Amino acid sequence: MQRTTGLLLATVLGLSATACGAGEPGTPASKGAAVTITVACQPARSAPKERAAWDDDVAAFMKAHPGVTVKSTDQQPCFDPKTFGPKLAGGQMETAFVVPVTNYADVIGKGQAMDISAYTGEIKNWNDLRADVRELVTKDGKVYGVPNVHYSVGLVYNRKLFTQAGLDPDAPPATWAEIREAARKIAALGPGHIGYGEYSGGNTGGWHFTQALYGRGGAVLTDDGKKAAFNSPEGRAVLQTLHDMRWSDNSMGSRLLVGWESLMMAMGSGKVGMMLGAPDVVTDVVNKFKGNVADYGITGFPEAKASLSGGEAFMINPRATPEQARAALQWLDFRYNTVGKGRFDFARGKTLGNPVGVPDNDVYGDSATGRAIQAERERNATLPVRNYAPYVRAAAAVPPKAEPAHAQELYAILDVVMSGVLSRQDADPGKLLADAEAKANALLAAKG
């Protein structure tokens, strides 16, 4: 789902010489042949420092790769579930693009991603990538993507608001009862304060419902994936808790938060106490939505029996030429997979005022590259790492659970459930779940 998109907002890289990604043939980009790649997800103009850093990376990459021209385009959010499918089906997808883990099998199965097995050597640390995440982009021994993100969910909270509300920021909630109590106290701070923020639409509502459901031990689908399983005691508990927080406790505010940016903006305003999210929520809240870098902490998922985990990978459009594929992978290596460069240039992030030190469940794990990345992160940390110690401890002990098959379509159905309990005081959680179950089962039947 969205990360940074959150899913987590996903970062998309595109390369093309035409709208469909085809380009003129030539010798490999690494040998200096002329090739043009177009990269999407350039930071917005509203984030000038991050945009300038991106542009610096583009310039440095082109200098190191004579003959390669990189053209950047704005695209925020980078992964849009409403346009992703139609763009793929219509042949309009960028040449190199981000795919959420839930869509890997579909994209690979439909032949919409290039077999890059012959080119993985362009990613110098390829063998240090976690074996389990590499396996996710591999089918029948062929590699179809470069893993880019792996994460699990925790509880992001505003330490400053906790202090103002008389709560101990070093002892964050560990149960839903404690979350309700903390949310009531934060909401009581005054107008505009929201104790606990939640989504109701834009597929993010269904995504967060799934997070909460997994935490309680529930499932979205049956084990065989053929039927909906969310109309369950765990599903009803999720909705009842949200209903009670919204209407009995008045701790969730009255505004429906639909798209990914809405809750992130609210969190950045400094008036939202808690939300479910992965560690990169802190980075995005600070970088994109002007949150105070010192205010945020992360703890474990409350009462977690499992935690939703997910991620994304870069895939290459099968219409790309070999020269384009190599150039794209060289860019991915430089920008996303080199210690001290691109996204791992923590020294630069520190000078930009970014919240360096936020823990990652990154794709390199405890490999040599992973340890080097963590050492650089700690060396340049601008945040006290103790703020995230509860999350680090909890995440190591909570079993990960992947997003369901057909996640985006199911999330759209579950959006209605979330919107119902947050917009109508007389909403019946059981009825909402039963209606959603019927729609989900019809969807699954149509999928075969």
One DSSP character per residue, 106-130 reads HHHHTT-S---GGGGGGSTTGGGS-
In a domain, 11, yes or no: no
pLDDT at 31: 52
Query: Phi, psi (5° rounding) for residue 231?
Result: -85, 80
Q: What is the pLDDT of residue 1?
A: 54
Residue 10 falls inside a structural domain: no
Cα–Cα distances (Å) from 153 to 257, 305, 425, in that order, read 19, 12, 28
The per-residue pLDDT for 353 is: 85
User: Is residue 236 a contact partner of residue 433, using CB atoms and an 8 Å limit?
Assistant: yes
User: pLDDT tens digits, the chain, 448 residues: what are they?
Assistant: 544 333 333 332 222 222 233 333 333 444 556 998 877 778 888 889 999 999 999 999 999 999 999 887 776 667 777 788 887 788 777 778 888 887 888 899 989 999 999 999 999 999 999 888 899 899 999 999 999 988 889 999 999 999 999 999 999 999 999 999 999 999 999 999 999 999 999 999 999 999 999 999 999 999 999 999 999 999 999 999 999 999 999 999 999 988 888 999 999 999 999 999 988 888 889 888 989 888 999 999 999 999 888 788 999 888 889 999 999 999 999 999 999 999 999 999 999 988 888 887 678 988 999 889 988 998 999 888 888 888 888 877 788 888 898 988 999 999 999 999 999 999 999 999 999 999 999 999 999 8
Q: What per-residue confidence (pLDDT) applies to 141?
A: 97
DSSP 24-47: ---S-GGGT--EEEEEEEEPPTTS
Detail the DSSP E strand segments found in 55-206: 68-74, 96-100, 138-139, 142-143, 146-152, 154-158, 194-196
112 contacts: CB under 8 Å, gap ≥ 6: 88, 93, 315, 317, 318
Asked if the structure places residue 125 within a domain, the reply is yes
Do residues 242 and 342 both lie within one domain? Answer: no
State whether 265 and 202 are in the same domain.
Answer: yes
**Whether residues 345 and 360 fall in one domain:** yes
Same domain, 207 and 220: yes
The CATH number that applies at residue 147 is 3.40.190.10
Q: Which stretches of 285-408 are assigned E, i.e. beta strand?
A: 296-299, 307-316, 400-402
C-alpha to C-alpha distance for 415 and 403, rounded to whole angstroms: 15
Select from 260, 258, 270 the least CA-distant residue to 194.
Answer: 270
Residues 88 and 168 in one domain: no
DSSP conformation class of 245? I
Q: How far is CA 116 from the centre of its chain?
A: 24
pLDDT in tens, 384-414: 888 888 888 887 778 888 889 898 899 999 9
Q: Which two tokens stand for residue 439?
A: 């729609």
| Domain enclosing residue 191, as ranges | 154-308+393-446
- Number of independent structural domains in the chain: 2
pLDDT at 268: 93
Question: Any idea of the CA torsion for 87, 92, 94, 98, to the nearest 10 degrees?
Answer: 10
44 and 145 fall within a common domain = yes
**Residue carrying the six token digits 């599903």:** 235
Instruction: Compute the distance between CA of residue 22 and CA of residue 33 in angstroms, rounded to an integer.
Output: 16
Q: What are the φ and ψ backbone dihedral angles of 313, each rounded to 5 degrees?
A: -140, 155
What lies within 8 Å, CB to CB, of 138 at 6+ separation is 144
Question: Domain boundary at 355, 380, 405, which?
Answer: 380
Give the Cα separation of 252 and 246 in Å (integer): 5
The pLDDT of residue 305: 94
Residues 132 and 220 grouped into a single domain: no
Determine, yes or no, domain membership for 6. no
Provide the sign of the torsion angle of the four alpha carbons 162, 166, 170, 173, taken in this order. negative
Q: Which of 358, 380, 402 is the last residue of a domain?
A: 380
220 belongs to a structural domain:
yes
410 and 344 both lie in a single domain: no
Q: What is the pLDDT of residue 295?
A: 93
Beta bridge partners of 7: 2
**Tally: H helices and E strands in the chain:** 16, 12
- Answer yes or no: are the C-beta atoms of 299 and 155 closer than 8 Å: yes
The pLDDT score that the predictor gives to residue 17 is: 28
* Alpha carbon distance 102, 113 (integer Å): 15
Residues 266 and 399 in one domain: yes
What is the structure's pLDDT at 258? 85
Task: Establish if 13 belongs to a structural domain.
Answer: no
Q: Please state, as a whole number, how many other Cβ atoms lie within 10 Å of the Cβ of residue 425.
A: 9
Instruction: Determine the 3-state secondary structure of 270 from DSSP.
Output: coil
Q: Residue 248 falls within a domain, yes or no?
A: yes
Residue 255 inside a domain? The answer is: yes
Same domain, 52 and 173: no
- Indicate whether 65 and 118 sit together in one domain: yes
286 and 406 belong to one structural domain? yes
